[in-house]
Every structure is written in structure tokens, then in C-alpha cells.
């Protein structure tokens, strides 16, 4: 890791609650002072101007990077899902959350390794780098070489994060409510409960190892992807040992020819459609850091499989109906599919329903031409503009089931990645093929 920071992971629930409580108090104080200053200047204070400041962004990123765990995961979700629309001064700080967390110091790492492998654990290794190559929300990764010759990426879970998921999510929920970004009467408890379960699954590395095996089976005949092999003898719920893969972050492709960027993003969208319509199994976290590009072989390495989910046949068919309606610009077909997905409901105000349908019509443009470039067509910004009414009518927006929300997050994450890569996509052809394949296997 370059320019890495080390800080001890707060492992107890009490210490983690103290960090979040301090962050909340700091934000409230800064926002009140900022708002008071605006009032004295005869300006009306707004949430945008008092909360969404670069100072607050810096405080949030710093505290979440130190805490890791479920609290930081929520911050990463914010950076993926809302980063395009937050003030420009937030982007460098949100990028730091995407890039990684603080690393835990060597002494804390040694305690974790000894706890999992015993005091004689160095006897397994010819080489073990205590300098992590990556540090994320739930664990950090080290490069190591076994005495038998295999080079491994060793993912070590931070102490205390699995046991603190419930309290972390509860405290983040309080912070969200204090931010006033949601109405006071908006019930987010159902969403928070499902988020807890999802993060508990991610914190069980044996489950992740099983998900890796599933992807290896699905992609065994697809040379476009590389899936790391799991080294089972040293893996457990809190340590995952995998084949080490040397590659470049996807952002490095920005300096490569257009054709290369197009190929990579078309391959990732083809995988997305296969997950949804063929495998009924999806890695639902679209974090850019979950992919590596191997320039010599032109392959994509898939790295993180903690956030995998099975897709029900009902959900799959609903998305098939939605894709079919979007291909035809069929407003009534879209409306029916959105109602079944609980993204619309019959009691919505007409202007909210219309805004959602308008957004879907805009999004369907990418299915009406042989190639489409999200960046050139300013699709993301146009969608934001078309659906502004939703931000002002939060009470009217239907909360979908958690599984649907995760699928939507993966789709939107891929759109944002393609937007960043400025890629030309052949979505029309891919969706036609995917729907035909799904019809033949139903």
C-alpha cells in the first residue's frame, strides 16, 4: 500500500460506539455553527450547505477509515451510490473511502494471526509481508509465500468487526436520522435489519470461499475472467487464503485505448446479465476495487465474493419483463414490472410515478442503439435531473425488498463504472442474447 495509514481497530462495541458518537456530535456542532454563521449573514441555512461541506466529509472519511467494519461499508456505499451528485469537494474524500481503510498496526495483526493459526504459524511460510497490499472495510490483505511454493493473498479480518455489526448499523442509522436526509417518520429499520444480515454473511470467510467455488463453476469455460483459487488448509471464518493475482486497478484503463476500455466494460456487463438471467446468482457489490485488469492476457480478475446472493426465479422474471419493456419503450409494461418489483406502488403521487417512468425511458436509450456511451450521452446526470422530484418526495418513494435493492445497486454501480471508463457499450445486442437464453432455459 502506498501512503498507508495505520491505526488500531476499535474492537469492542463500546469503543466503536464512542467513535460514531463522537463523529455525530462533531457533525452536529459543525453544522450548527455553519448554520448560525449563515443566519448572521442573512442567508438561509440549508442541509446542503451545513452538512455537505468538505470539513464534514473529511471528518466522516477519517473516522470511518479508522473504524472499518459495517460503519465504513456504509460510507463506501455512499461513495458508490451518491458520489456523482454530492458537491465536487467531496470527491477526493469519497475516493479515499473507495481506495481503502487504515491498516491495523503490526502488533494487532500478529494477535489476530496467532489467534487463528496458533503461535507456530510462521512455520507455514517462507515469506509473509506485514505491510498490507490492501485494506478494506472488513479486512486487510497480505502477500505471502508458503514453504511449498504457492504465493497467496491472505485476507485477515479486523478483530471485533463481526461482533459489532448490529451496534455499528444501529449507530449509523442514528447518524442518518440526525442528518435529516430522510423524513423523521421514515422507517428504515427493515432495511437496517437486512443490511445487518448481509454484512454478517460478508464477515464469514468460509461462506465467501463457497461463493468463490460457485463462480469458478459458472465461469470455468470463460477465458475472460480469472478467479483466485482458495487455499483451504489455512482458511477459516476470519482468515481467507487465496491465490495471489498480480494486476492493475480498473482506473488504470483510463490511459489505455478506447477499444481496450470498451472490451473490458462490455465483458463486465455480459457477466452482469449472466448473473441475473443465467446463473441466478450475483456478486452484488460493484466496488471498483473488486476487479483487477491483467494487461498481458486482457483478462479481468474478480477478487471479492463476500456480497453474493441467490436470485429467485420471481425476481429474475420481473427483471426480464422490465428489460423487455425497456427494449420496446413500453410504458405500461415498465409500470407493471416496476409495481411487481415494488419500485412503484399504486398510492404514489402521479408526479412521482411519472418521474420514475421518465427516468426509465431515459435509461432505455442504451438499449435502442448498437453502441452507447453513458458519459457522452450524459445519462447519469440526465437521470438525476429527471428524478429530482423523488428527492423532494421521500415519503412517497416505495422501499423495495432488500434483494431487489442489491440487484439495483449492482446495475447502477456498473453504469457508474462504465460512465467513469467512458466506454462504448453494445448493450442492445447483449440484452437481446441474454433474454433469448433465459427464455430457452425457463
pLDDT of 259 higher than 90: yes
C-alpha 9/C-alpha 67 separation (Å) is 6
CB-facing half-sphere around the CA of 92: CA atoms within 13 A: 7
pLDDT class for 386, splitting at 50, 70, 90? confident
Mean pLDDT calculated for residue range 166-178: 71
Q: Which one of 27-36, 85-94, 300-309, 401-410 scores highest in mean pLDDT?
A: 300-309
pLDDT class for 15, splitting at 50, 70, 90? low
Q: Point out the least confidently predicted range of 64-78, 100-114, 347-361.
A: 64-78
- Residue 430's nearest CA partner among 265, 262, 270, 223 is 270
C-alpha cell at 343: 419500485
Number of helical H runs and strand E runs in the chain: 17, 11
C-alpha 103/C-alpha 139 separation (Å) is 9
C-alpha 106/C-alpha 89 separation (Å) is 33
Q: Is the dihedral of CA 267, 269, 271, 274 positive or negative?
A: negative
C-alpha 243/C-alpha 210 separation (Å) is 15
Mean pLDDT calculated for residue range 319-343: 95
C-alpha cell at 153: 493473498
pLDDT of 36 higher than 50: no
- Percent of the chain residues topping a pLDDT of 70: 69
pLDDT of 304 higher than 50: yes
- What tens digit of pLDDT does each residue of 201-224 get? 888 999 999 999 999 999 999 999
Terminal-residue alpha carbon distance, the chain: 47
C-alpha cell at 279: 446463473
Residue 117 near residue 137, CB atoms below 8 Å: no
Give the per-residue pLDDT at 183.
47
Pairs from 57-63 (Cβ < 8 Å, separation ≥ 24):
57/89, 57/90, 57/93, 57/94, 58/93, 59/23, 59/26, 59/27, 59/30, 60/23, 60/27, 60/93, 61/93, 61/94, 61/96, 61/97, 63/19, 63/20, 63/22, 63/23
Mean pLDDT calculated for residue range 250-266: 94
Mean pLDDT calculated for residue range 55-76: 57
pLDDT of 191 higher than 80: no
Active site (annotated) includes residue 168: no
- What tens digit of pLDDT does each residue of 406-432 get? 899 899 989 999 999 999 999 999 999
C-alpha cell at 216: 469458478
pLDDT of 270 higher than 50: yes
pLDDT class for 387, splitting at 50, 70, 90? confident
pLDDT of 178 higher than 80: no
Give the per-residue pLDDT at 25.
44
Q: Which one of 22-36, 290-304, 390-404 scores highest in mean pLDDT?
A: 290-304
Question: How far from the centroid of its chain's Cα atoms is residue 81's Cα?
Answer: 8
pLDDT of 436 higher than 80: yes
C-alpha 271/C-alpha 289 separation (Å) is 17
Mean pLDDT calculated for residue range 146-154: 97
Residue 202 phi/psi, 5-degree rounding, is -65, -30
225-226 β-sheet, strand order: 225-226, 299-302, 291-294, 248-249
pLDDT of 98 higher than 70: no
Q: Which one of 32-36, 55-59, 365-369 scores highest in mean pLDDT?
A: 365-369
C-alpha 210/C-alpha 230 separation (Å) is 9
CA-based diameter of the chain, in Å? Answer: 71
Rounded to two decimals, the pTM is 0.79
120, 185, 222, 285: the catalytic one is: 285
Helix (H, G, I), strand (E, B) or coil at 222: coil
Exposure of 156 by Cβ count < 10 A (0-12 exposed, 13-18 middle, 19+ buried)?
Answer: buried
Give the per-residue pLDDT at 9.
65
Strand partners, 35: none
Residue 228 near residue 187, CB atoms below 8 Å: no
Mean pLDDT calculated for residue range 94-98: 52
What letter would DSSP give residue 228? P
Mean pLDDT calculated for residue range 63-75: 57
- Relative to beta strand 125-128, strand 248-249 is unpaired
pLDDT class for 390, splitting at 50, 70, 90? confident
Give the per-residue pLDDT at 72.
59
pLDDT of 79 higher than 60: no
Question: DSSP secondary structure string, 319-369?
Answer: HHHHHHHHHHT-HHHHHHHHHHTTSS-TTS-HHHHHHHHHHHHHHGGGGSS
Residue 395 vs residue 343, higher pLDDT? 343
Helices (H), 129-288: 165-179, 189-202, 205-218, 258-274
> Across all residues in the chain, what is the average pLDDT?
80
- Residue 163's nearest CA partner among 206, 196, 188, 140 is 196
* Helix pair 427-441, 313-328: axis angle to 10 deg: 140
pLDDT of 285 higher than 90: no
- Radius of gyration of the chain from its Cα atoms, rounded to whole angstroms: 22
pLDDT class for 276, splitting at 50, 70, 90? very high
Amino acid at each position: 500500500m502506498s501512503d498507508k495509514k495505520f491505526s488500531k481497530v476499535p474492537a469492542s462495541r463500546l469503543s466503536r460506539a464512542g467513535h460514531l458518537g463522537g463523529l455525530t456530535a462533531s457533525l452536529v456542532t459543525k453544522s450548527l455553527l455553519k448554520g448560525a454563521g449563515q443566519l448572521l449573514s442573512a442567508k438561509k441555512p440549508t442541509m446542503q450547505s451545513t452538512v455537505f461541506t468538505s470539513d464534514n466529509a473529511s471528518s466522516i472519511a477519517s473516522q470511518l477509515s479508522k473504524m472499518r467494519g459495517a460503519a465504513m461499508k456504509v460510507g463506501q456505499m455512499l461513495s458508490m451510490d451518491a458520489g456523482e451528485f454530492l458537491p465536487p469537494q467531496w470527491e477526493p474524500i469519497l475516493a479515499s473511502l473507495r481506495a481503502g481503510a487504515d491498516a491495523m498496526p503490526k502488533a494487532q495483526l500478529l494477535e489476530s494471526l496467532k489467534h487463528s493459526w496458533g503461535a507456530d504459524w510462521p512455520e507455514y511460510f517462507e515469506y509473509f509481508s506485514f505491510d498490507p497490499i490492501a485494506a478494506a472495510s472488513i479486512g486487510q490483505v497480505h502477500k505471502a509465500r508458503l514453504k511449498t511454493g504457492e504465493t497467496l493473498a491472505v485476507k485477515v479480518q479486523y478483530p471485533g468487526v463481526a461482533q459489532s455489526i448490529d451496534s455499528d448499523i444501529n449507530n449509523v442509522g442514528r447518524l442518518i436520522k440526525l442528518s435529516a436526509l430522510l423524513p423523521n417518520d421514515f422507517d428504515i429499520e427493515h432495511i437496517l435489519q437486512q443490511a445487518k444480515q448481509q454484512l454478517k454473511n460478508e464477515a464469514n470467510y468460509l461462506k465467501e470461499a463457497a461463493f468463490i467455488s460457485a463462480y469458478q463453476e459458472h465461469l470455468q469455460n470463460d477465458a475472460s475472467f480469472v478467479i483466485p483459487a482458495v487455499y483451504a488448509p489455512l482458511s477459516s471464518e476470519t482468515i481467507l487464503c487465496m491465490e495471489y493475482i498480480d494486476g492493475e486497478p480498473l482506473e488504470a484503463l483510463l490511459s489505455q485505448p478506447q477499444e481496450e476500455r470498451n472490451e473490458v466494460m462490455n465483458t463486465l456487463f455480459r457477466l452482469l446479465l449472466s448473473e441475473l438471467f443465467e446463473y441466478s446468482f450475483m456478486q452484488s457489490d460493484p466496488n471498483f476495487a473488486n476487479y483487477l485488469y491483467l494487461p498481458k492476457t486482457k483478462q479481468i480478475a474478480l477478487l471479492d465474493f463476500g456480497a453474493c446472493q441467490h436470485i429467485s426465479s420471481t425476481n429474475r422474471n420481473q427483471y426480464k419483463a422490465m428489460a423487455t419493456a425497456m427494449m420496446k419503450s413500453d410504458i405500461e409494461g415498465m409500470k407493471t414490472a416496476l409495481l411487481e418489483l415494488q419500485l412503484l406502488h399504486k398510492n404514489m403521487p402521479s408526479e412521482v410515478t411519472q418521474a420514475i417512468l421518465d427516468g426509465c425511458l431515459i435509461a432505455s436509450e442504451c438499449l435502442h442503439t448498437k453502441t452507447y456511451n453513458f458519459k457522452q450521452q450524459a445519462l447519469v446526470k440526465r437521470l438525476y435531473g429527471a428524478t429530482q422530484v423523488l428527492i423532494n418526495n421521500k415519503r412517497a418513494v416505495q422501499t423495495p425488498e432488500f434483494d431487489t435493492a442489491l440487484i439495483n445497486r449492482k446495475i447502477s454501480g456498473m453504469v457508474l463504472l462504465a460512465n467513469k471508463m467512458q466506454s462504448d457499450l453494445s448493450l442492445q445486442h447483449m440484452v437481446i442474447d441474454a433474454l433469448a437464453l433465459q427464455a430457452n432455459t425457463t
